[in-house]
């Protein structure tokens, strides 16, 4: 009887962090970044993971913020974050997080010129940039006609749901497929792509077979589901109060992030 456990999902921030946020796997991280960023190759000669520990943004955050932060050879900061769901505040939150990585570099008596480049990579399961079918978008400070003001900040958005089913002959497609898939046969095919991909698949299989890792993953999932459930319940209560005040459904949708159908169902249930 085959008791082999299914593969853990790489698109979980917990699993992604264990693979890409481990200094022992820095070669895997470098190969992934080379597919996303257009920085010189020698920048990958020395990648250093910053703050490898889980930290909580708020006291009530029971499952912590799991992202990957690193320094390149020249000191540039790269921040990678997985977001399965695209919330309405994700754009503002991304700008805030990136701005903090810029301002944290300054302290009293230091020169403005010490600021190093900050690059953010947001990987989403939901579609983040709906305007076209591209699964990789890069944003910088530029004029409408393409004149660049500075490259000190950059945001890369990777939409997993836009990934075409057939490969497009880019290395990025294969890494996106690795992050998106949890099928062992697909992983075995991907493992033939490169030594780094083979190592990444091997690390994933080791993590998936480890009982303690699975327990921590499941515990984190439960905590996240509980948190999301409490947030949803709070939104429903707010929606009910706004309905009682006879606010238009459209305004309640904006205020609560519930769908129009959900708000209408609450309204009809009270009538």
Residue 44 has pLDDT above 80, yes or no: yes
Is 197 found in the same domain as 242? Answer: no
198: number of Cβ within 10 Å:
15
What is the pLDDT at residue 89? 82
204-244 pLDDT, tens digit each: 999 999 999 999 999 888 888 887 788 889 999 998 899 88
Alpha-carbon span 152 to 119, nearest angstrom: 8
In a domain, 222, yes or no: no
Q: Tell whether 149 and 62 lie within a shared domain.
A: yes
- Looking at the fold, whether 203 and 236 belong to one and the same domain comes out as no
In a domain, residue 218? The reply is: no
CB distance 90 to 49 below 8 Å: no
Report the number of distinct structural domains present in the chain: 2
Least confident of 32-36, 195-199, 228-232, 234-238: 228-232
Domain identity same for 64 and 180: yes
Query: Chain-wide mean pLDDT for the chain?
Result: 88
In a domain, 124, yes or no: yes
The edge-to-edge listing of strands for the beta sheet with 136-142 is: 48-50, 67-71, 77-83, 118-124, 148-159, 136-142
The predicted pLDDT at position 228 comes to 79
pLDDT of residue 2: 53
Does one domain contain both 47 and 152? yes
203 in the same domain as 156: yes
Q: What's the pTM?
A: 0.82
Quote the domain boundaries for residue 54.
Answer: 13-209
Instruction: Identify the pLDDT of residue 61.
Output: 44
The answer to the question of residue 69 being in a domain is yes
Q: Please report whether residue 116 resides in a domain.
A: yes
- Quick one: 140 and 243 in the same domain? no
Residues 182 and 255 in one domain: no
Q: Do both 247 and 132 map to the same domain?
A: no
Q: Domain for residue 224, yes or no?
A: no
- pLDDT exceeds 50 at position 1: no
Clarify whether residues 203 and 110 are in a common domain.
Answer: yes
> Does residue 186 or residue 57 have the better pLDDT?
186
pLDDT of residue 3: 62
179 and 51, same structural domain?
yes
pLDDT in tens, 8-18: 999 998 999 99
- 74-128: pLDDT as tens digits: 999 999 999 878 877 889 989 999 999 999 888 766 788 889 999 999 999 989 9
> Looking at 177, 209, 241, which one is the last position of a domain?
209
Calpha distance 48→37 (Å, rounded): 17
| Whether residue 91 is found in the same domain as residue 173 | yes
Average pLDDT over residues 263-268: 87
86 or 201: whose pLDDT is higher?
Answer: 201
The per-residue pLDDT for 56 is: 42
What local confidence, expressed as pLDDT, does residue 52 receive? 55
Residues of the chain with pLDDT > 70: what percent? 92
What is the structure's pLDDT at 98? 92
Residue 8 domain-assigned?
A: no
Question: Reduced to 3 states, what is the DSSP secondary structure of residue 48?
Answer: strand
* Structural domain contains residue 225: no
Give residue 194's pLDDT band: very low, low, confident or very high (50, 70, 90): very high
Which pLDDT band, with edges at 50, 70 and 90, does 155 fall under? very high
Element (H, E) at 102: helix 90-103
């Amino acid at each position: 009887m085959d008791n082999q456990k299914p593969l853990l999902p790489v698109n979980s921030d917990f699993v992604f962090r264990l693979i890409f946020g481990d200094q022992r796997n820095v070669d895997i991280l470098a190969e992934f970044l080379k597919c996303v960023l257009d920085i010189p190759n020698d920048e990958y000669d020395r990648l250093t993971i910053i703050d490898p520990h889980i930290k909580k943004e708020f006291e009530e955050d029971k499952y912590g913020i799991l992202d990957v932060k690193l320094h390149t050879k020249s000191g540039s900061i790269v921040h990678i974050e997985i977001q399965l769901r695209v919330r309405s505040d994700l754009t503002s939150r991304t700008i805030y997080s990136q701005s903090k990585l810029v301002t944290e570099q300054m302290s009293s008596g230091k020169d403005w010129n010490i600021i190093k480049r900050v690059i953010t990579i947001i990987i989403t399961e939901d579609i983040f940039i709906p305007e076209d079918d591209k699964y990789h978008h890069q944003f910088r400070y530029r004029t409408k006609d393409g004149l660049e003001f500075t490259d000190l900040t950059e945001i890369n958005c990777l939409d997993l749901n836009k990934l075409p089913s057939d490969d497009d002959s880019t290395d990025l497609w294969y890494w996106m497929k690795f992050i998106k898939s949890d099928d062992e046969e697909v992983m075995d095919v991907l493992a033939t792509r490169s030594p780094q991909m083979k190592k990444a698949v091997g690390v994933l299989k080791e993590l998936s077979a480890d009982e303690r890792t699975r327990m921590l993953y499941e515990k984190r999932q439960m905590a996240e589901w509980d948190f999301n459930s409490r947030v949803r319940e709070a939104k429903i209560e707010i929606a009910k109060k706004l309905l009682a005040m006879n606010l238009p459904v459209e305004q309640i949708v904006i205020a609560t992030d519930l769908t129009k159908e959900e708000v209408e169902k609450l309204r009809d249930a009270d009538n």
